[in-house]
Structures are given as C-alpha cells and as structure tokens.
Amino acid sequence: MQETTEDASALRGSSLNGSSLNSQVPDGPMADKWENHKFNIKLVNPSNKRKFKVLIVGTGLAGASAAASLAELGYEVEAFTFHDTPRRAHSIAAQGGINAAKNYPNDGDSVHRLFYDTVKGGDFRSREANVHRLAQVSVDIIDQMTAQGVPFAREYGGLLANRSFGGAQVSRTFYARGQTGQQLLLGAYQQMMRQVGLGKVKLHTRMEMLDLVTKDGEACGIVCRNLVTGEVTSHSGHAVVLATGGYGNVFYLSTNAMACNVTAAWRAHRKGAFFANPCYTQIHPTCIPASDEFQSKLTLMSESLRNDGRIWVPRNPDETRAAADISERDRYYYLEEKYPSFGNLVPRDVASRNAKTVVDKGLGVGPLKNGVYLDFADAIKRDGKATIEAKYGNLFQMYERITGEDPYARPMRIYPATHYTMGGLWVDYNLMTTVPGLYACGEANFSDHGANRLGASALMQGLADGYFVLPYTIGDSLAPKLGTEPVPTSDPVFQSSEQGVRDRISRLMSIGGTKSPDYFHRELGKLVWNYIGMERTEAGLEKAITEIQALNEEFWRDLRVLGDTDTINSSIENAGRVADFFELAELMARDALDRAESCGGHFRVESQTEDGEALRDDEDFSHVSAWEWQGEDTIQVKHAEELAFEEVPLSQRSYK
C-alpha cells in the first residue's frame, strides 16, 4: 500500500456509497427482530446436518462454544488452534465478569437497559439490532454456563451474585472471583472436548491459518502451517468460521498474550472480507504501568477493582510523600470530582483519557511518574480485609508478585494500556462477512460494541455468537448447498493458496538482513501508540502513515529470520504476523484520519467539547467504515454502512 502523493485526501483513500453492504437486519419492532429472524431463515434438517462440514479457526470462548454447539446439532466440525491446547486461549484473561440482564439485585436492570447502556457506551457507533440481540441472549448465557458447572459467585441465599462495571448504574456483572474468563473457557472447552471424544469435532492443535481459500467468490477452506513440523496443508469445508480474537498486539505493548495476532482475519481481508472500523481500539484504564522501555508485555488488573478502589493522584506535581501520608485535601479524586453520577465507574475510554490527562500534567505517581493510584484503604476500613480478599484475592496476589508492593497496605499503581479492539471483520446480522460462507465471531468481528466496549461485555459477545447466534444463522447459507461436497483440496484453488503461503515464507526467510521480527514489532508499536493511541491528530496520523510505510520498507529489506522452516520456529511465525501488522497499522491510521470526529475510543484532538469530552459528528460519520482490499500497492476502498438509531436517540454522552 504505497503512496504516490502526500495530499491529505489521498492519504485517507477513496470512498464508496455502501451499496455493496447489506446488513440483513430484519424488519419489524426491535424487540421482535431476532425471534422473527430465527423463524424466517432457512433451516437444515437434523439428519442433513451431518452432511455439512464447518471449519472453525480459533478455540477461545467464541470458537469453542461454536464448535461444541454445531457438533451437538450434528454438523461435522474441524477446529484449529495454534496453541497446544484450547485452554491457552486468551479468553482466560477476561477476569472481571460477564454482563447479563437478569436483574437479580432488583435494581432496575432489563434487556432494554443493557441494550441502551451498550449503545450509549459505544458512543452511538454500533448496529442497534445486533446490540439488542446481544442483550436478549445474555440471560440465556448465564443459565447455559451455570448448567455446565461454571462456579459463579453466589449471595448468602444461593442466588448468583452481581457486581458493577463501568458505564452502568446497575449491578449486572456475574463473576467467578477474578477468574471469570478462565472458568467460562473451561466450561466451553469441556463441551467441545466432549464432542471431540464423540468423534464429532476433529481438533487440530499447533496449526496456524495462513490463508483463506475461495472458489467462485465463496469461502471453501483454509491453508494452515503446522507449527511443529512446518508442513503446509489445506483443509476444505462448506463454511469457515473465524473466531481468532482481536488485533491489539499491533501496539506491541498490550495486555494481550504475546501470540495474539491479526493474521487469520487479515488473510481473509486480503481475500475479499471487508475490515470494519480498524481505528476503534480500546485502551483499558486499569493496567500495571510499564517499568522500562524494554518491557514486552503489560498486565491487566480487572476493571472490577474499580468497584471498591478509588482512583486519585496528588494535587501537587512535586509531591514526595508516601501515599498514606498525603492528606485528603491534597488528593485529587479526578473521576469522582468530574463525574459524580458514575465516579470511578465511568466507561473505559473516559477513565483512560482522564488518566492520561493528569499524568501529562505531571501528576503521575511511581518511579517513572507514569501511573495513578487505585486505593483500597477506604474499602478495607469499611468492609474489612477479609471481604476485599474474598472478592479480589487472586488479583492482589498477581499485583504483588509483579510489582513487589502489597496492595492491602499501599495503593496499586495503574495506567491505561491497549486491551481490546472493537474493529474487525465486517459481518451482517447473520455474522457472515462479505465473503459468502465465511463467518466471524467474537472479537474477530466488529458488530456489537461501536467505538467503545463496556467492561464485562467481551465474554458476553463471544458466548452469544458461539452458543446462540451462529448455530441458528449458519444454516441459512448451508441449506441451499445440500447435496454438494466440499471443494476437494486437490482443486487448483487450494494448490494456488498453498504455493502462495510457501512463497511468502520463503520470501521472509531469504531477506537475510540484520534485525529481528521483535525489533520491527517494537518500533511499529511505538508509532501506533504515539500517533494512533489515546489521542489522534490530523498531522500525527499523516505522519504515522509515512513512517509506517518507511519502517515497512526497512522490514522487507533488513529482516533477519533465524532457523529453518521445517521445525518449531517462533521467528518465522512472528515475522509473518508482524508483516500483517504493518498493513493493518497503515489501515488503522487511514481510518482514523478519515473519521474526522471523536467517538468512544477514537479521540481526535480537533473534535472535542469545551470540557474535553469526545465530540461526535453524526451528520458525516454515523456509519460503519468497511474497507475493501485492493492489492499490496493500492489503498483500500472505504464502503459505508449507514447506522440508524430508532430505539436509542442520538445524544451527547454524559456520565456526570
């Protein structure tokens, strides 16, 4: 994607009217859309389901639940993961909880309120129908996972317990101490492995998808590389499902596991799947600050901690006293003062930007002055240490192991870090991408969170897509294919894709430069964080595009990949993933440059209210930006899906 001009309009790329995008949202009242849609879409007879093969890439919450559900229905399923076991999926890192509109605390929650909070929390940049469906099925998720034995916390009387998360004034978050993602993943994993034991799911471990195979414009399979032997193989099916997570590691420093990447989704993008809203990235406010510039991973401290912890900084930038010695009048509880209605439980984008603001003013804490305090002294005094330990004990232990500081005795130090990506492959109401037969679930798609995801909604979406949406909608495209066999892997389309994968690996191996993939990844991450991070400007984004291109050219000229291709080789794995991150990063910058407004996690300095809040431009940007691949040397073309807000009227977000 090389530039031929430095003109700003050229940097943004060209734009088309959205005529090629059909969201497939059904007609009728919002509350009835999903039930009516389930009745109206095509079904596959139970005895015919075994005649269809579905390939599922990724075995985290979305992938494992989809594999288990589809196999239980009778489909033949093959599941692929680059891990040695599905239990290593990054879903385990979602610690704090999962939202559902059960209203167990009887505090005014409902399906409509969860729907409203999610649309508002996403700053009115999500598709209403998808969000309402998510809120509807949320209540079924809790029943499903409880039946599978997930040990949710309970109140004294036996009901499942709830706690609060950001962006809501009700308690709707179900949790299993500070290990909710891990426990939910184990529940979905055991259901998938049950189907493996029954022979209905074939599980491929240590296999990385490196290409999507299409024939006559439809997805018909994938090409994978075995990460142990280096063998490149093809796999064919009637449908392909990508449940491969987000692309937060484009920042290099993030809370994502080191292996998380965009490669599967990006390979699909290069084969025709539109990539939607790539500039929508979430910076989580509750992470342990970096300790030096050589750090390669950041650690998330759950948002649930903001229930009882109070966030503050010293009012004096030259403060040297220990936190406990600073008097109340010398403390700046900036979220509580600015947002009295929500306090420390404002949405993540608001909390993150405010943390950056106070640190930029010189009020940061810690050895590098790069954090803010998260203080539990008042909660411990009010409820007792035992109560706080019961709620957050494992999180406190993790913090102490990493920092060497006891959070029971002194405040935690936190600072925002990249955590989640709201952008992803564009999908319609059925979760199908613009490539027929290719579906995207969970964080891999863009559909539910708009420009900012509320806390505890990632687990909800992953399980909703896998357990309660895809098993209904996938039949609509499979039913007309009854009686057809999958395209054989001997077909020229598979041979061509395999050769393309081998050629790309050979090209990376043959560069023979001097710098490692990690060097280029770190340098790219600095550019993305500095120019496409919490604050973006027109000049900065234009500079980002130019510098990303220059660094990408250096990558292809001076990369050094060690080892061989016919054995375990993390260097060649990382090289391929970093190459895809370069192309993604450039598109992120173009998307952010094109969207000349602020909304949610996308904050353009040129578009803010008098008091520094995000200022949307609903007239020009109330749409989804879906980008179409045009080739390596051509800028992607933007397609716009216009968004309509019938149930939640457009308004300026306020959490004060």
Domain presence at residue 149: no
How does pLDDT run across 182-204, given as a tens digit for each residue? 999 999 999 999 999 999 999 99
> 113, 172, 348, 595: which one is catalytic?
348
SS3 414: strand
Paired tokens of 617: 């431009």
Domain presence at residue 172: no
**Contact by Cβ (8 Å): 273, 425:** yes
Q: What is the mean pLDDT of residues 286-292?
A: 92
Q: Taking the alpha carbons of 652, 638, 57, 570 in that order, is the dihedral positive or negative?
A: negative
Domain presence at residue 194: yes
Same domain (yes/no): 275, 297: no
Q: What pLDDT does residue 1 have?
A: 40
Q: pLDDT class for 4, splitting at 50, 70, 90? A: very low
Paired tokens of 298: 């950041």
Q: pLDDT class for 177, splitting at 50, 70, 90? A: confident
Burial tier of 139 (Cβ tally within 10 Å: 0-12, 13-18, 19+): middle
Domain presence at residue 9: no
Same domain (yes/no): 207, 296: no
Q: pLDDT class for 416, splitting at 50, 70, 90? A: very high
Average pLDDT, the chain: 95
Domain presence at residue 205: yes
How does pLDDT run across 485-540, given as a tens digit for each residue? 999 999 999 999 999 999 999 999 999 999 999 999 999 999 999 999 999 999 99
How does pLDDT run across 270-279, given as a tens digit for each residue? 999 999 999 9
What's at 73, amino acid-wise?
L
Q: pLDDT class for 94, splitting at 50, 70, 90? A: confident
Q: Which of 418, 453, 469 is the last residue of a domain?
A: 418
Q: What pLDDT does residue 9 have?
A: 54
> Which residues lie below 8 Å from residue 223, measured CB to CB, with a gap of 6+?
209, 210, 211, 213, 232, 233, 234, 235, 494, 497, 498, 501
C-alpha angle 576-578-584 in degrees, rounded to nearest 5: 110
* End-to-end Cα distance, the chain: 43
Q: Which of 374, 393, 418 is the last residue of a domain?
A: 418
Which residues lie across from 331 on neighbouring strands?
314
Q: What pLDDT does residue 7 have?
A: 52
Domain count, the chain: 2
Same domain (yes/no): 223, 188: yes
Domain presence at residue 296: yes
> Which residues lie below 8 Å from residue 265, measured CB to CB, with a gap of 6+?
242, 244, 247, 273, 275, 424, 425, 440, 444
In terms of DSSP bridges, do strands 275-276 and 239-242 run parallel, antiparallel, or are they unpaired?
unpaired
Domain presence at residue 540: yes
Alpha-carbon distance of 416 to 201, in angstroms, equals: 40
Same domain (yes/no): 450, 569: yes
**Contact by Cβ (8 Å): 469, 462:** no
Question: Around Cβ 385, how many Cβ atoms within 10 Å?
Answer: 12
Same domain (yes/no): 409, 465: no
How does pLDDT run across 535-566, given as a tens digit for each residue? 999 999 999 999 999 999 999 999 999 999 99
Q: What pLDDT does residue 152 have?
A: 96
Nearest Cα residue to 314 out of 268, 270, 362, 282: 362
* Chain length of the chain: 656
Same domain (yes/no): 511, 610: yes
- Backbone phi, then psi, for 114, in 5-degree steps? -60, -40
How does pLDDT run across 453-488, given as a tens digit for each residue? 999 999 999 999 999 999 999 999 999 999 999 999
* pLDDT of 409 over the 80 cut: yes
Domain span at residue 386?
A: 284-418
Domain presence at residue 8: no
How does pLDDT run across 33-73, given as a tens digit for each residue? 999 999 999 999 999 999 999 999 999 999 999 999 999 99
Alpha-carbon distance of 176 to 151, in angstroms, equals: 6
Q: Based on C-alpha coordinates, what's the Rg of the chain? A: 24
Q: pLDDT class for 5, splitting at 50, 70, 90? A: very low
Paired tokens of 518: 């990690």
Which residues lie across from 236 on neighbouring strands?
221
Same domain (yes/no): 401, 429: no
Instruction: State yes or no: is 348 an active-site residue.
Output: yes
CATH number for the domain including 299?
A: 3.90.700.10
> Which residues lie below 8 Å from residue 292, measured CB to CB, with a gap of 6+?
none
Paired tokens of 274: 């539109």
Q: Which of 391, 418, 445 is the last residue of a domain?
A: 418
Same domain (yes/no): 467, 594: yes
Unique residue bearing structure tokens 């949610």: 600
**DSSP annotation string for 555-608:** HHHHB---S-SSS--HHHHHHHHHHHHHHHHHHHHHHHHH--S-BTTB-BTTSB
CATH number for the domain including 602?
A: 3.50.50.60
How does pLDDT run across 132-158, given as a tens digit for each residue? 999 999 999 999 999 999 999 999 889
